[in-house]
Structure 1
Amino acid sequence: MNKTLKIGAGREIITPPLGMILSGYAPGRPAVSINDDLRVTCLALADGQTKAMLISADICTYQKESSDRLRSLVADQVGVPAANVIFSPTHTHSGPVTSSGWIKTGGQHLSYIEEIFEPAVQKAAKAAWASLEPAHMGIGTVQS
């Protein structure tokens, strides 16, 4: 069976508002300025038989339950099996608190997750799926 690989990409800004508590170093510190926007990037892959979505977000951590919910939201929106949606935070220490493990140091900002983060992920996933185009993938090695 001749399978044509298709790849699409989508990206959205997920920068939190100033004052939001940041994760990582020096827990409890608020965002006081924005140097560069934080982003979520989605890469859609399909070969006519298998569909997958890779998601990378500029946040520090995300709990399994939250990740499972996010994977289900994306799966429902673009028709990719949830088991084929891979979510990976970049582990920035200059992003918003998105894990309840940081609750004691400033709390999880549910409004950020529900109003900014999840909608941006869904929008980027939808854009990635809508932009699918035939592509070629390969690997190589170099010896010196």
Structure 2
Amino acid sequence: MDPVRFVNPSGNAAPGGHYSHATVANGFVFVSGQLPITASGKRLVDASFAEQARQVLANVAAILQACGSGVDRLVQVRVYVDTLEHWPEFDAIYAQWAGASRPSRAVVPTGALHHGLKVEVEAVALAAG
């Protein structure tokens, strides 16, 4: 059995708590919930929803790449938005980002998110084959 590997790419801000950005185990990559935070650690609290969504998805893609995976290997994506009104805009941005990949997905309206941000995304993908 392969060992569990914890991944914190240098191109992403350091985790804000006792966790890793991703865990690679049993042929899967488990990406922790990503918020719209830049590599330098700036929280995009005052940014538009679209800018926040693009940053979150860029964070997820960078983490997947650091794990030897990619957007095309996603199997499950969970999206948390502060209000369901943001769902259509997120879906359009997500479709551009994901391209032909259509993993299982849930979009959950949650109310206020951590730090006053508007979107969080977590994911599961296949690790490198």
TM-score bracket for the superposition, by shorter chain length: 0.3 to 0.5
TM-score by length of 1: 0.31
- The structure whose Rg is larger is 1
TM-score by length of 2: 0.33
